């Protein structure tokens, strides 16, 4: 199997193209300060992951910015820290401030020459709009949790994406490569629906799972890269070989 076998690339965004752990850490800092810094960055991300996953299951149709506000309050309650609605809403509105990974813009610009590029993301459209500006590419389609009214890893999200790819691009599942960091949110459901995937292992230098819950199983993937830049290099090597 080669990267050049595929006709379209679908992407997770946050954790894959946008450095959401840096963004989350910065947005959680006021809460950490109130908690007197008793929790490390990695511990805070793990606590966030647990509450985010639970909230997504409880309110699957809630837009992500509102869901983040709920999560902020859940984390504050666990830490016994009082927070206002305003503070929670500021956290919920923080997605536009999350930075892109340094290699994302150049990688997407390169890949755009060879593939239609599609987003399948657990966010709302308004939050994604600012992230799209940071990524500086015109995606050919954007499918969000807000559109689907469920959050990955719900298989409904992947069924929706594959149907839309078939309808909008005339391409079957065998033509699609899903590119993502999260084993839980992306590679596990990709396995279950028979979709080829490339793991962008952004946390290869870190222990633990960060802002994502453990996958609970060891999914397979067809490619593994430490970065988007490494994926581009592999594609270039295939073309030159």
pLDDT for the residue 208: 84
CA–CA gap between residue 50 and residue 184 (Å, rounded): 12
The CA distances from residue 143 to 27, 42, 219, in Å, are 25, 30, 23
CB-based contact 86:95 (threshold 8 Å): no
The CA distances from residue 6 to 135, 179, 182, in Å, are 22, 12, 21
CA–CA gap between residue 162 and residue 91 (Å, rounded): 32
pLDDT for the residue 43: 92
12 is catalytic: yes
Catalytic hit among 12, 124, 186, 222 = 12
Residue 34 has pLDDT above 90, yes or no: no
Q: Please state the length of the chain.
A: 241
pLDDT band at 48 (very low <50, low <70, confident <90, very high): very high
Residue 36 has pLDDT above 90, yes or no: no
CA angle 163, 232, 191 (to 5 degrees): 40
CA–CA gap between residue 105 and residue 155 (Å, rounded): 29
Domains of the chain plus CATH, in order, are 3-19+99-240 (3.40.50.1000), 20-97 (1.10.150.750)
pTM of the predicted model, to two decimals? Answer: 0.94
DSSP character for 198? E
Residue 38 has pLDDT above 80, yes or no: no
pLDDT for the residue 213: 86
pLDDT in tens, 87-118: 999 999 999 999 999 999 999 999 999 999 99
pLDDT in tens, 172-212: 999 999 999 999 999 999 999 999 999 999 999 888 888 89
Q: b/e string for 34-47 if b means 16 or more Cβ within 10 A?
A: ebeeebeebebbbb
pLDDT for the residue 241: 77
pLDDT band at 29 (very low <50, low <70, confident <90, very high): very high
């Amino acid at each position: 199997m080669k990267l050049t076998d595929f006709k379209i690339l679908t992407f997770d965004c946050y954790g894959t193209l946008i450095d959401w752990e840096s963004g989350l850490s910065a947005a959680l800092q006021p809460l950490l300060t109130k908690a007197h810094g008793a929790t490390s960055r990695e511990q805070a991300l793990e606590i966030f992951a647990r509450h985010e996953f639970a909230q997504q299951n409880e309110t699957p149709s809630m837009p992500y910015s509102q869901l983040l506000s709920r999560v902020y309050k859940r984390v504050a309650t666990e830490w016994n820290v009082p927070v206002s609605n305003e503070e929670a809403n500021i956290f919920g509105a923080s997605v536009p401030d999350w930075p892109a990974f340094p290699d994302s813009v150049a990688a997407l610009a390169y890949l755009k020459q060879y593939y239609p590029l599609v987003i399948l993301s657990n966010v709302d459209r308004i939050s994604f709009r600012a992230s799209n500006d940071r990524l500086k590419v015109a995606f050919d389609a954007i499918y969000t949790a807000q559109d689907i009214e469920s959050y990955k890893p719900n298989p409904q999200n992947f069924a929706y994406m594959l149907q839309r790819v078939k309808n909008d691009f005339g391409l079957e599942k065998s033509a699609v490569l899903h590119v993502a960091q999260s084993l839980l949110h992306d590679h596990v459901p990709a396995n279950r629906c028979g979709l080829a995937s490339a793991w962008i292992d952004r946390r290869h230098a870190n222990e633990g799972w960060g802002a994502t819950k453990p996958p609970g199983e060891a999914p397979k993937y067809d490619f593994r890269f430490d970065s988007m830049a490494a994926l581009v290099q592999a594609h270039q090597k295939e073309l030159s070989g």
